[in-house]
Structure 1
Amino acid sequence: MSYIVPAQTRIGHVHLKVSDLDRSLAFYHELLGFEIVQRYGSQAVFISAGGYHHHIGLNTWHSKGAGPAPVNAPGLYHTAILYPTRKDLAVILKRLLEAKYPLTGASDHGVSEALYLDDPDGNGVELYWDKPKEQWPFDANGQLEMVTKRLDLEGLLKEAE
């Protein structure tokens, strides 16, 4: 029998190799709003939401001044940041639009609504919220049917008002 990870298990944090710490902080701290928990000089910063020790570590230990990782190579596809409500996702969408920060995509997955963008180093970032489970699409056999449909950005933005 194979091992099954406990249901309460969650991913606590991600460490990203970045080429310029201040440029990354302009994105993650100033634009997205993560709080700085600790800074290690010009080499690393740990940031979080709500006082957790860190959700994201940014470091230049092996990447200072380097270009982005190749798109067509193994590596991190994206970091997914889960917002508690649809309104919270709408607020960050409004901030991104006001800052003229480019989105690479926006999707309704049936179970969630998601915004996609790249950080300054080309690392993929997904900003999303989960719909209530009773709204998730299931087929006749009870199997989850995730989809990728166009997200109604105008409808989402109305939530920010």
Structure 2
Amino acid sequence: MTYTIPPQTRIGHVHLKVTDLDKALAFYKDILGFEIMQRYGTQAVFLSAGGYHHHIGLNTWYSKNTGPAPVHAAGLFHTAILYPTERDLGVALKRLLDAKYPLTGASDHGVSKAIYLDDPDGNGVELYWDRPKEEWPLDADGNLMMVTEHLDLDAILALI
């Protein structure tokens, strides 16, 4: 029998190597709004949404003042941050636009609406909202049919 991971399993946190902790905090804390849960001096910080011990860890243990990881190499493609409502995604988008933070893309995937950008160290970040499962696109046989289509950012902003 093939083992299948329990359906309640979730990815709990991501821990990123960054070159400058203050620049990373300016993005994850000041723009995205994560809260500092704990600091390890000037080398690491753990951030959370809603008081969880940490959703994002940032450290400079091996990466202080180095360059970003190569784009065309194995490694993290992006960290995906799931917002509870489409309106919350709109608030995040407005904060990015107000901060004049560059976006790298925006897509409607049928199952979700996603905004893409890079953090100050070039790590990919996806901010997204999932549609209710009963609205996910399926083919005639009931198989999931994700897509990559244009995302109307103005419609998301109109929700706030």
* Secondary structure, counterpart of 1:87 in structure 2: helix
Distance, in Å, in 2 between the alignment partners of 1:66 and 1:46 is 21
- Give the SS at the match of 1:88: helix
Q: Which residue of 1 aligns with 2:94?
A: 94
Instruction: Provide Cα deviations, 1:8-51, integer angstroms capped at 9, x if missing partner.
Output: 00000010000000110000000000000000001100000000
Corresponding residue for residue 109 of structure 2 = 109
With the length of structure 1 as denominator, give the TM-score of the two structures.
0.98
- Separation in structure 2 between the aligned mates of residue 64 and residue 4 of structure 1, nearest angstrom: 39
| Aligned residues between the structures | 160
Q: Deviations over 1:129-154 (max 9, x none)?
A: 00011211000000000000010011
1:50 to 2:50 alignment: yes
Alpha-carbon distance, 1:2 to partner = 2.3
Structure 2 gap ranges (5+): none
Partner-residue secondary structure (3-state), 1:106: strand
RMSD (CA atoms): 0.5
Residue identity opposite 2:39 in structure 1: R
Aligned residues with identical type, % of pairs: 75
Aligned residue for 1:83? Answer: 83
Q: Which runs of 4+ in 1 moved over 2 A?
A: none
Q: Distance in 1 between matches of 2:64 and 2:3?
A: 39
Alignment-mate amino acid for residue 111 of structure 2:
V
Q: Distance in 2 between matches of 1:10 and 1:136?
A: 20
Cross-structure match for 1:19? 19
Q: Which residue of 1 aligns with 2:7?
A: 7
Q: Does 1:72 pair with 2:77?
A: no
The normalised TM-score by structure 2 is: 0.99
